[in-house]
Amino acid sequence: MFMSSPGAFDPPAAFAPDLDPAAEARWATELAERAGAGDLAAMQVLLKHLTPALTRVVIGVLGGQHADRDDVLQQSLIAVQRALPAFRGECHPAGYATRIALRVALRARRSGKLEFTRREAIARLSPESAHAESPSNMADAERRRRVLRDLLQDLPEEQADALGLRVMMGWSLDEVARATGAPLNTVRSRVRLAKEALRKRIERDPQLADLKGAP
């Protein structure tokens, strides 16, 4: 038990790099359950704990310099808060929240109000890539991301979750499985099916023929 009293929360070095993952998961799960039951103090601590992960998701979908990034992050936090009463501890709270944030960000793109700019595309590249790649390669990289973002909007929800976390966020299959609460083989199958759909989309569009290796 990590709660020192009914209204006080003492995460056991929750932000320390050497924190035992199992201890952190137990602490976060109990915190999420209390937050879902209406404990406002637990909700505040939990959302602060989850914000870095949700920020990475929103940036992964929208780009680091997008003007609506902070608004979508706030929408994601609100969506997580509203969804917590349904949380049953079947996965890590961060995975539960990450999936919600991914869907919020994708809906924001689908609304038609969010457009990518060249500046945002370049910002998505690592500093090493920005120096090493030619303008042509950088343009190809952004085209791959655009195709992937568009595809995520059309995929079944489970496949979109798996591919978004695996490719856009760079998570391992094990991490995706823990986050989504699905068996590893199921996650592997969802990613494979999503990638097949991506390849078919590229093959159907002659203008995307040079992207056949993506992702």
Domain boundaries, the chain: 12-115, 125-215
Q: 10 Å Cβ neighbour count for 1? A: 6
Q: How many CA atoms lie within 13 A of 109 on its CB side?
A: 22
Which has more confidence, 207 or 105? Answer: 105
Q: What is this structure's pTM?
A: 0.64
The Cα diameter of the chain in Å comes to: 63
CA distance 14 to 18: 9
CATH topology of domain 12-115: Rna Polymerase Sigma Factor; Chain: A (1.10.1740)
- By the 8 A CB rule, do 190 and 181 touch? no
Q: Across the strands, what pairs with 5?
A: 8
CATH class for domain 125-215? mainly alpha
| pLDDT surpasses 70 at 9 | no
- By the 8 A CB rule, do 197 and 107 touch? no
| pLDDT surpasses 90 at 116 | no
Which has more confidence, 86 or 138? Answer: 86
Position 89 confidence tier, pLDDT thresholds 50, 70, 90: confident
Which has more confidence, 60 or 88? Answer: 88
CA distance 29 to 51: 16
Give the mean pLDDT of 74-83.
95
